[in-house]
């Protein structure tokens, strides 16, 4: 083989290799951009820090919160993730929406003077809680484990701007995979 042919083949190989690496870099940049966009605007992965949502979610469960659903109207019974006291992330159940009156009497939660049916509870509420009107752009949240009062009974209502999104899926541990 002549030196000229060998040089031509080497140039082609180098061009092919360069093209391969440029395409690889392009794919990596696209994957990073899509991951960033997804985490910034669509989903957030949240770790449940305590047992306040038992039996629905336990400590160290990891859940997916959809940020897109934050813009839609939340409903009573939705499980949401939100920030409380700075960057602390919490997961609780929405009980009252703006304008609702929420109270606890004789072990039952009442929303607008109607008892709330809550099949997900194991422990009844034994504490009385006086009526509260949920202000505009706020939600009233409670734990599923009502013995833990680390919720709106202690903190008050939660401003909607602190809501990360609606918790839709528990993905860890594998044995507890479920849609909420």
| Domain stop point among 43, 58, 73 | 43
Check whether residue 36 and residue 56 sit in a common domain: no
Residues 53 and 124 in one domain: yes
Q: Residues 139, 80: one domain?
A: yes
User: Comparing C-alpha atoms, which of 117, 35, 125 is closest to residue 76?
Assistant: 117
Do 55 and 93 belong to one domain? yes
**pLDDT at res. 129:** 86
pLDDT in tens, 32-64: 998 888 777 788 888 888 888 888 888 888 998
3-state SS, residue 62: strand
Residues 85 and 156 in one domain: yes
What's the CA gap between 167 and 84, in Å, rounded? 16
Neighbours of 149 (CB within 10 A): 16
pTM exceeding the 0.85 threshold for the entire prediction: no
Q: What is the CATH number of the domain that holds 98?
A: 2.10.109.10
Are 86 and 1 contained in the same domain?
A: no
Q: Tell me which residue range forms the domain holding 31.
A: 1-43
> Helix or strand or coil: residue 79?
strand
- The CA distance from 112 to 99, in Å, is 9
Domain count, the chain: 2
Q: Based on the domain organization, do 116 and 35 belong to the same domain?
A: no
Percent of the chain with pLDDT over 70: 89
Tens of pLDDT along 96-147? Answer: 999 999 998 888 889 999 988 877 776 666 678 899 999 999 999 998 888 8
């Amino acid at each position: 083989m002549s030196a000229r042919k060998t040089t031509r083949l080497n140039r082609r190989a180098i061009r092919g290799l360069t093209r391969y690496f440029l395409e690889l870099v392009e794919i990596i940049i696209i994957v990073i951009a899509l991951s960033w966009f997804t985490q910034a605007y669509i989903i957030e992965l949240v770790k449940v820090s305590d047992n306040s949502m038992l039996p629905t979610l336990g400590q160290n469960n990891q859940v997916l919160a959809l940020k897109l659903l934050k813009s839609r109207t939340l409903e009573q019974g939705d499980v949401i993730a939100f920030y409380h006291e700075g960057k602390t992330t919490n997961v609780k159940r929405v009980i009252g929406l703006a304008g609702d009156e929420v109270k606890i009497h004789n072990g039952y939660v009442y929303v607008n003077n109607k008892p709330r049916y809550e099949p997900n509870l194991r422990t009844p509420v034994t504490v009385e809680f006086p009526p509260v009107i949920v202000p505009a752009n706020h939600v009233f949240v409670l734990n599923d484990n009502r013995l833990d009062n680390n919720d709106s009974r202690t903190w008050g209502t939660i401003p909607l701007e602190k809501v990360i999104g609606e918790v839709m899926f528990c993905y860890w541990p594998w044995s507890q995979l479920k849609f909420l």
